[in-house]
Amino acid sequence: MGAFKYYRKTFEDKGQRRRNVIRWNRLGSFVRMENPSRLDRAHAVGYRAKQGFVVVRARIGKGSSKREKPAGGRKPAHAGMTRITPKKSLQRIAEERVSKKYPNMEALNSYYAGESGKHVWYEVIMVDPHHAAIKADRKISWIASQRGRAERGLTSAGKMGRR
């Protein structure tokens, strides 16, 4: 087996995933990481271990949102308060929030990292388009000409949502 197949096997270990999620719950919504926790997925979506690439783990709340209570009398069931589902996927929302948090970087892509009953974690790969190592690399220098990729739906999750 290749190395990435072993990485995949470690992710499939449910006990390890649960321990990760318990540890991540204590951290903030956005955590900048040295290395991706799922190296096989990170490489598959474009990550490379070089300067200018940053991985950020984003925590997103699961479930539908509530909205403001309408004026006027209604039965609670007809008030339309719950079951308001977003039009975007949680992964796309995570990419947009991370790109807002790091305005000098561009979201290249993201992947699922784990979930609990209350939250979902995605790891978003960010690229610094102004970094010299990125500008000099032919394979990734195209990102310098794109601004606001996550907001415009140009990542993988964004393209799926625009279908």
Can you give the pLDDT at residue 82?
A: 65
Residue 83 or 163, more confident: 163
CATH fit for domain 19-61+88-161, picks 3.40.50.720, 3.40.1120.10, 3.30.70.2660, 3.30.830.10: 3.40.1120.10
pTM of the model: 0.84
pLDDT tens digits, one per residue of 40-82: 899 999 999 999 999 999 999 987 776 677 677 777 777 766 6
Residue ranges covered by each domain of the chain: 19-61+88-161
Per-residue b or e along 51-90, where b marks 16 or more CB atoms closer than 10 Å to that residue's CB: ebbbbbbbbbeeeeeeeeeeeeeeeeeeeeeeeeeeebeb
Q: Residue with structure tokens 């601004």? A: 147
